[in-house]
Amino acid sequence: MQSPPSPQASLLRYALSVAAAAIAWALIVSQVNAQAAAPAMGFDEARHLLGRTSFAAQPSEIAEFAKLTRAQAVDRLLAETRRTAAYPAPQWATSYVRIYRPEMSQEERQKAQRREQVERGLELRAWWTAEMLSTPSPLTEKMTLFWHNHFATSQVKVRVAQLMYRQNVLLRQYALGNFGALLREISKDPAMLIYLDGAQNRKGMPNENFAREVMELFTLGEGNYGEQDIKEVARAFSGWSIDLDAGEFRFRRPQHDEGEKTIFGQRGRFNGDDVVTLLLKHEKTAEFIVGKLWLEFVSPEPNRAEINRLAKDFREGGYEIKPLLRAMLLSDEFWMPTHRAVLVKSPVELVIGSLRQFRFEVEDPAPFSVVMRQLGQDLFGPPNVKGWPGGDTWLNTSTLLARKSFLNRLFRVDEMSSPELAGTTAALIDRDLMGERRQRAQTRLALNGGGGSMAGESMMAAGANATPFGVNNQMKGQYHFDANKWFAQYPNESDSSMLWKTLLAGPPVQATELKYDLAGVRAIALDPMYQLK
């Protein structure tokens, strides 16, 4: 695995500046449109809104949003969202070519495929990390990640990186679009068909995996369907398959069970599309989705009445996500002061947020995808179909210490190259190669340049949160924090509270007597409050 060429690095820098320009432009426009009559949000509310809907609230953004009303600000945020990634995808991702390698033995072929998929899995993670670091539309990425967690699918099982990429494109396309359409597309998504064994679900030989999870985890929630419904839904989806040469959905009629089914007490010759329609008619679906979004955006304590109110409008409005999000972000609950700083940042929010907040120049995003994995959130690799449990469970002694260690390193000096971070990439390759089956020692040795490092194994042994620093490897992970430039955002050094008010969702718990210097920034980053949004 070679480090991405430097053009990519400069691309990322370029993309970051584009992002900044886009935000600035949007702010000018919204300012012009601001109506004098409605009350402006002010600093605290602007910071809260941006903290929840973007990765990091920049001082200039907060200042500009503070002049808007809540409704203007929310409309502004929702109007700006992209539906495609801005950062260029790896070349292999955009064209699906099935390589047969007839000249190889079966074992060689498997080895080659495995190595290719592991490398591509890593590139894919790096690509999404770069997109999140540079996007002018952070809300799009947050929602894409939300749907990735909802329709959880893992490269570890799918093992075809192009299909994982395609699913990611799909999730982004509908991230703030229509949930019904997204559900329909997901039921035919090749990566999903592999992940939940749908492609193996045939007439007379049902596989219940997708049928169960589409109801339990994607729509209704546990307890709102019966075991018999699962069996019948599995029959309805039989024949939903994949054309492996094209990497696309294919309906195989001979494998589809055309018979009558009874689902939720209704009889009919249902197929998969009919099931999706039934699921969208079911009132629990909207409640389930809104309940999950509540935990993401509003508070860890669900307000049933509010959730049901929003869910009713969501369902009746045909499952449009933007109006739902608008209503949620404009609800009184969202703005309650007691609901600030009550949500634990995910590893992605912590890492991407920190890098964006402090405008780190990142030469290679790959090591940061590994850091996120160590903190418990492996992009394209959720732990199981339920996704990451999130909330307070992001933090245990192990992950909290790993977060603090990462933050501590970020600000130890104002410029450093990090062989430690770089080393993590090698370990990642190692771990992935082991995948679900037992690893082959030869493959591992080949990737480690014959060094025979056991780091990958010990990392796997220790789980996702191990810190396999010290792994020998040729990659260089450079990241750079320009402190002088960054502190220039704070011209008024006499008011030191501006520093924590910008960087923290609430008053610091431990960091006191803050100065506008690296020590001050580090103290804030290590404060427990920094873990919250």
The least distance separating another protein from the CB of residue 28, rounded to whole angstroms, comes to 36
User: 244, 395, 416, 518: which one contacts another protein (CB under 8 A)?
Assistant: 395
519, amino acid identity: A
Identity of the residue, 200 or 496, whose beta carbon is nearer to another protein in the bound complex: 200
Around Cβ 252, how many Cβ atoms within 10 Å? 15
Range 460-479, binding another protein (CB under 8 A):
460-467
Q: Residue 497, interface with another protein (CB under 8 A)?
A: no
Q: How many helices and strands (H and E) does the chain possess?
A: 27, 7
* Least distance (Å) between residue 343 CB and another protein: 7
Angstrom distance (rounded) from CA 197 to CA 214? 12
| Nearest to another protein of 234, 362 (CB atom) | 234
> Which residues in the 362-381 window bind another protein by CB under 8 A?
376
Token pair of 220 as six digits: 């209704």
For residue 263, list its beta bridge partners: 266
- Position among 244, 280, 342, 518 found at the interface with another protein (CB under 8 A): 342
Measure the N-to-C terminal CA separation of the chain; round to a whole number of Å. Answer: 36
Q: Which of 33, 35, 60, 222 binds another protein (CB under 8 A)?
A: 222
Q: For another protein, which stretch binds (CB under 8 A), given 119-127, 162-170, 282-290, 484-492?
A: 282-290
Binder of another protein out of 227, 332, 495, 513 (CB under 8 A): 227
Interaction between residue 392 and another protein (CB under 8 A): yes
Site for another protein in 16-75 (CB under 8 A): none
Q: How far is the CB of 104 from another protein (least distance, A)?
A: 22
Q: Which of 173, 200, 255, 331 binds another protein (CB under 8 A)?
A: 200
CB of 209 to another protein, least distance (A): 5
Q: CA–CA distance from 77 to each of 49, 108, 298 (Å)?
A: 10, 51, 16
How far apart, in whole angstroms, are the C-alpha atoms of residue 207 and residue 196? 9
- Residue 252 dihedral angles phi and psi, to the nearest 5°: -105, 95
Q: Which is nearer to another protein, 34 or 532 (CB)?
A: 532
Nearest to 348 by CA among 394, 298, 313, 413: 394
**Should residue 262 be labelled a site residue for another protein when binding is judged by CB under 8 A?**
no
Asked if 413 interacts with another protein (CB under 8 A), we say no
What ranges make up the beta strands (E) of 28-119? none
Whether the CB-CB separation of 154 and 381 falls below 8 Å is answered with yes
Closest distance to another protein from the beta carbon of 435 (Å): 11
Site residues for another protein, window 429-458 (CB under 8 A)?
436-438, 454, 457-458
Strand partners, 415: 480
* Contact with another protein (CB under 8 A) among 108, 243, 260, 301: 301
What does residue 178 show for φ and ψ, rounded to 5 degrees? Answer: -110, 125
Q: Is the dihedral of CA 70, 76, 77, 78 positive or negative?
A: positive
Residue 232: count of CB within 10 angstroms of its CB: 23
